[in-house]
Amino acid sequence: MSKKTIVWFRQDLRVADNPALNEAAERGDVLPILIVDETDQDMALRGTARAVWLHHSLLALDKKLGGHLQVFAGDPEQILLAVAAENGADAVFWNRCYTPHRIIADKQIKQFLSERDLAARSFNGSLLWEPWQVLKKDKTPYKVFTPFYKKGCLSAQAPRATVAAPSDISFVGEASDQSMIDGLELLPRHDWAAKMMADWQPGEQGAREAWAQFADNGLMGYKNGRNFPAKANVSRLSPHLAFGEISPHQIWAALEHQPQNEDVAHFRSELAWREFSAYLLYHFPTLPFENFNSKFDQMPWQIDQTALEKWQRGQTGIPIVDAGMRELWQTGYMHNRVRMIVASFLTKNLGVDWREGAKWFEHCLVDADYANNRASWQWVAGSGADAAPYFRVFNPVLQAEKFDPLGAYIRTFVPEIAELPNKFLGKPFEAPAQVLADAGLELGIAYPHPIVDLKQSRNRALAAYQTMRGQDMVEPA
């Protein structure tokens, strides 16, 4: 009699390079399942952009699995036990997750299953290097990216080889329709997501096409072009990586077939930043909600709900900030350079706690990876590991002039100021009355006045940091 294995899908919604699936297929019959566990931070999806993505990604995965994917919502322990008993399965395989909640839960589930004579095995399907394998000579974790990557990762064992999709999978039971996926009710009752999803193709095939598009059209010139939001030098692979529709191992291996130049090297380092975020969260599990640098516990964050809501809606009166926040709301995505700009504006110009920004991003982003998001917000705020210096306050006007010089990005998402000349597009509040009139723009009516003075708010931020640190602040030359 063939052995039956449950393959528990989580952040690995693909068939190729899926170690758990491959091991199960070699062992015997396969029963693929996914469980939405709302007690898990990574699966608390209701009402978010990620929930919409997950719905479509599950449809794509189910199609790849010939309609055999079963989906559930609830307690994983009880669901796994019940499914195993109902189908005569004697093992449960899954690919590891690295958030604190899942590490604890997975250990408990392994013990729970083992005590009931069910084999439980986990595999690495989502990280190039296991977090416990990359340590300093004194066996402590790295806190700075460059030595983590160059001394830790690149000198460690090379990432594992990719594995092809199983050539033939023998499934347990009969195929079913998509009603189980619909039953999860991941889609909103009011279809606000239709426009957002128009430019995305969730699923493994969509991930492959996104990689091919980037490799052909965006990788060359990536190192510099990635900073310009109107250029095509971004991969848009982040949601596919977040849901495991493509593995970092597949991308790492594909890069070996590209010309080995500064663009490829820089893209590899960006993959390593993803690793670094997961690594930090593994070794420092309070990272998502506590300041990595405890000095920031004394930071006098402002409580300004009105300002926060204007930032969320893209109504700050600062065009590059508003363009980014509107791109986020409309598309479920934001260009990485702009993410830094809007985060700096919220935490430094508005003085709002970085955790508020992190929560909004997790609500709106289709690629909201818990580790990446929280580590990145701390980095910009200055409280994180290897963080941007406390005195680094992005000037959004200068950022717009440097990285959106022709205004293509701002005009796309802030069309009400599109008729302004490039000189004033990033700073309509400095435009002469006649220039505003010629553009048909009345500030305070069609587009808001700035909700904060950039220079004054920057000085307030520096003063707050100085007070927090208890010493004089010296800016870099």
Query: Tens digit of pLDDT per residue, the chain (477 long)?
Result: 679 999 999 999 999 999 999 999 999 999 999 999 877 665 567 779 999 999 999 999 999 999 999 999 999 999 999 999 999 999 999 999 999 999 999 999 999 999 999 999 999 999 999 999 999 999 999 999 999 999 999 998 899 999 999 999 999 988 888 889 999 999 988 778 888 999 899 999 999 999 999 999 999 999 999 999 999 999 999 999 999 999 999 999 999 999 999 999 999 999 999 999 999 999 999 999 999 999 899 999 988 999 999 999 999 999 999 999 999 999 999 999 999 999 999 999 999 999 999 999 999 999 999 999 999 999 999 999 986 676 788 999 999 999 999 999 999 999 999 999 999 999 999 999 999 999 999 999 999 999 999 999 999 999 988 888 775 444 432
**Interior CA angle at 204 toward 198 and 209, to 5°?**
65
Q: What are phi and psi of 450, to 5 degrees?
A: -60, 140
Amino acid at 146: T
- Is 354 annotated in the active site? yes
Q: Which residues pair with 119 in a beta bridge?
A: 91
- Is 356 annotated in the active site? no
Can you tell me the distance from the alpha carbon of 178 to that of 158, in angstroms, rounded to the nearest whole number? 40
127-160+204-283: what CATH class? Answer: mainly alpha
- Is 53 annotated in the active site? no
| Per-residue model confidence (pLDDT) at position 44 | 62
Secondary structure of residue 115 in the 3-state scheme: coil
User: pTM for the full model?
Assistant: 0.94
Amino acid at 29: D
| Catalytic hit among 77, 124, 130, 270 | 270
Q: Which residues pair with 94 in a beta bridge?
A: 8, 122
| Catalytic hit among 22, 377, 379, 395 | 377
CATH 3.30.420.40 for domain 3-125, yes or no, is no
| Catalytic hit among 336, 416, 419, 422 | 336
The domain segmentation of the chain, as residue ranges, is 3-125, 127-160+204-283, 294-468
Can you tell me the distance from the alpha carbon of 69 to that of 8, in angstroms, rounded to the nearest whole number? 10
| Catalytic hit among 53, 252, 329, 354 | 354
| Per-residue model confidence (pLDDT) at position 474 | 41
- Is 129 annotated in the active site? no
| Catalytic hit among 77, 301, 416, 419 | 301
| Catalytic hit among 124, 130, 273, 416 | 273
Q: Is 437 exposed, middle or buried (0-12, 13-18, 19+ CB in 10 A)?
A: exposed
- Is 18 annotated in the active site? no
- Order of strands, sheet of 119-123, starting from the edge strand that comes earlier in the sequence: 70-73, 28-36, 3-9, 91-95, 119-123
DSSP labels, 308-341: HHHHHHT-SS-HHHHHHHHHHHHHS---HHHHHH
CA distances from 192 to 189, 197, 325 (A): 9, 10, 16
294-468: what CATH class? Answer: mainly alpha
- Is 336 annotated in the active site? yes
| Per-residue model confidence (pLDDT) at position 477 | 28
Can you tell me the distance from the alpha carbon of 219 to that of 261, in angstroms, rounded to the nearest whole number? 10
Can you tell me the distance from the alpha carbon of 76 to that of 80, in angstroms, rounded to the nearest whole number? 6
Can you tell me the distance from the alpha carbon of 35 to that of 32, in angstroms, rounded to the nearest whole number? 10
